[in-house]
Chains A and B, each alone.
Chain A
Amino acid sequence: MSGIRLLVGTRKGAFVLTSDGKREKWKVDGPHFAGWEIYHVKGSPVDPNRLYASQTSAWFGQIIQRSDDGGKTWIQPGTPPGEPTTTPEGMAKGESNKFVYDTSPKTGKPLTTHMWYDGTQHPWEFKRVWHLEPSLTDPNHVYAGVEDAALFESKNGGESWQELAGLRGHGTGPKWQPGAGGMCLHSILLDPKNRQRIFIAISAAGAFRTDDGGKSWKPINQGLHSQYIPDPHAEVGHCVHHIAIHPSRPNTLFMQKHWDVMRSDDAGDSWREVSGNLPSDFGFPIDIHAHEPDTIYVVPIKSDSEHFPPDGKLRVYRSRTGGDEWEELTKGLPQRDCYVNVLRDAMTVDSLDSCGVYFGTTGGQVYASTNAGDSWNPIVRDLPAVLSVEAQTLP
């Protein structure tokens, strides 16, 4: 019988929630890496037992953890305990925690500056990994979106990391600026029909696309409108909160921007607003039904100044028309006195026949719907603030 494994990253550790295909009874395992911020945990689509986790701390920096048994045990892949740090030939072993911007003449780009909150220029400094995106074909290949914004990849199971410097060196870096959470590359979408195509999004720079496997990148922000930058229609500078594609239709992208829900049907070359009748078009996550590429989900948040649901009512909004027309989903969700937030990587779907939808809140609840959003139940109520939720549908 199939089952579901939810990988939950929180402010104080990671949790693994498992259930059988009925999704009624859940086992909660954790905390893993207790006390550390776990920005993201995600499994390989080709080997579900291969998981990657971003473990981070303002004190002690960035750690990459890997599990090869579905989250039961974890290792730092570049530096197993007790092993020598060099090979018999004296070569340094991979260092899984080492994220160094590539400034080499051959493959790198010079380290420039980006815009700071006060409009001055600020040095590019690595802080943490926000998002890990395993390859669609190789469990040892994984991408990492980092703060300050850049894209890294590992082709050896996380043992070492190389920057795809063409993105950071695209040339518009001095116009990129941090959002409230930092200048993070938070979304990585791999096109299942075109291995050379990757979409990423940065807060606050915008969305970018490569069509050559990451060597060169173009901003794809035409049609976005942002009042908080001097030119609201600028090529870059937009605070994109999250982007999503459906594997069956990768030329269609959905975006939750700082304000506005957007849609593109030409792989990001142009965008149109599809906020429609949402009570607020501010929010963080956006996700797509596993079997219906025009069914999308958002969680409206009151505003950029008040990061909680409008009217104290936690509501997921679903559009079955690819945007513009939205219905509120409230059954099982608190409809009074609710002032939590739902962060950008904290919503996900499973791929069972009746699509499961899940999201975690900054109040520590993880909610599950087994009927595509019609009704919800909390799996857990009292975890630390949830940063990310990923679902694995297991055979």
Chain B
Amino acid sequence: MIRVVLPHHLRTLAHVGSEVELELNGQITQRTILDALEAKYPMLRGTIRDHVTQKRRAFVRFFVCGEDVSHDPADTPLPEAIVTGTEPFFIMGAIAGG
């Protein structure tokens, strides 16, 4: 079970609480998590990464086990703690005022 923590505004859009759970098989990467997240919550398409290029939106960050992995390649395997659900995959809005 993969745990994903969403920022406030995306929780409201998806009508979920702070954390969602995803059933995922195979390699666990940023891309596979986001693919599964958008499949389960299609209203989030385009809010985390661009509709077409699939690039992360500039003001969105990804944190894993206390590390900022926003700039890691999308297909890099994520740590075991994410795979086992011990740690959540954090999607954050950049601290940019407002």
Contacts and interface: CB of A to CB of B under 8 A. Distances in A.
A59 interface: yes
B42 A60 contact: no
Interface stretch (B10-18, B22-30, B82-90): B10-18
Interface residues of A, number: 22
A58 B96 contact: yes
12 contacts: A34-B12, A59-B7, A59-B93, A60-B13, A61-B46, A63-B47, A78-B42, A85-B38, A95-B51, A97-B46, A97-B51, A98-B46
Contacts of A36: 9
Interface string A26-37: 000000011110
A35 B57 contact: no
Contact of B9 (A60, A93, A95, A100): A60
A98 B47 contact: no
Contact of B45 (A34, A57, A79): A79
Interface in A45-86: 57-63, 76, 78-79, 81, 83, 85
B43 A85 contact: no
A61 B43 contact: no
Interface of B: 7-10, 12-15, 38-39, 41-43, 45-48, 51-52, 57, 59-60, 93-94, 96, 98
B59 A95 contact: no
B45 A81 contact: no
B46 A59 contact: no
B42 A95 contact: yes
Contacts of A57: 9
A59 B45 contact: no
A150 B19 CA distance: 37
A162 B48 CA distance: 22
Tell me what chain A mostly uses at the interface: helix, strand, loop, or mixed: loop
B9 A35 contact: yes
Interface in A87-131: 93, 95, 97-98, 100
Contact of B48 (A33, A60, A81, A95): A60
A81 B45 CA distance: 12
A78 B43 CA distance: 8
Contacts of A95: 42, 45-46, 51
Nearest to B48: A60
B50 to A, nearest CB: 8
A93 B43 CA distance: 12
Contacts of A59: 7, 9, 57, 59-60, 93-94, 96
Contacts of B41: 81
A85 B43 CA distance: 10
A88 B60 CA distance: 33
